[in-house]
Amino acid sequence: MKSGDLLAPLEIGRISEETIRLWSEFLADPNPIHLDPAATAAMGLGHRVISQGPANLAYVINLLMANFPGKTIEKISTQFSDNVFGGDIATAAGRVLSADSDRITCEAWLEIEGRGRAIICEASIRLEG
C-alpha cells in the first residue's frame, strides 16, 4: 500500500439500541443518555439514545483489523467530534497516510449517513513482528 490508498470500507449498517444497551454493560456506564431517549432529550442532545464513544471507535478498529489481518495496532489517536445515535447508519473508512516496510500510518473515521464523520483516528500499524 502507498500514501493515498483507500482502505476497504466496512459497512456497519444501522446502529441498534440493543447494541448501545450492551455497551452500557461492557463499559459499566449507567449514563441514561445511552438507555433512555427521554434522558437524551432532557440534556438537549436530541431524541434518540447515544452510542458510546468507545463503541464507535471499536467499529473503526474493526476496519483496521479487517484491512490489516494479523498485523499489530501500535498506536491510535482519536478525536470524538460528534454524537452517534441509535438508528444512525454508519460506515467505517480510511486511507493510508504513509507506508514503509515496517509500518503503515492511516487516517480512519466513522461516517454517519447524512451528517458526516463522528470520529476521526490516526493509527499506526506494525507490519513485521
Partner 1 sequence: MSKDLPPPPNPAGFSLDGSEAYTITAEQNAALCRSIGCEPASDGTAHPIYYYIATQIGMGPSVAEFCEACDFDVDDGPMIVGSEVTFRQPLMVDQPYTVTGSINSLDRKMSRKLGVMDLAEYTLDLHADDMGEDAVVLESKTRWVLPRKELS
Task: Tell me: does residue 110 bind partner 1 (CB under 8 A).
Answer: no
Nearest-5° Cα angle at 27, 26 to 32: 110
Beta-carbon neighbour count of residue 64 at 10 Å?
Answer: 22
Residue 105 within binding range of partner 1, rule CB under 8 A: no
Size of the site for partner 1 (CB under 8 A): 30
Nearer to partner 1, 32 or 95 (CB): 32
Contacting residues for 93 by C-beta, under 8 A, at least 6 apart: 6, 7, 9, 10, 63, 108, 109, 111
Give the contact letters, 68-87, x = binds to partner 1 (CB under 8 A), - = no.
----xxxxxxxxxx------
Interface residue list for partner 1 (CB under 8 A): 12, 19, 22-23, 26-29, 31, 33, 43, 53-55, 57-59, 61-62, 65, 72-81
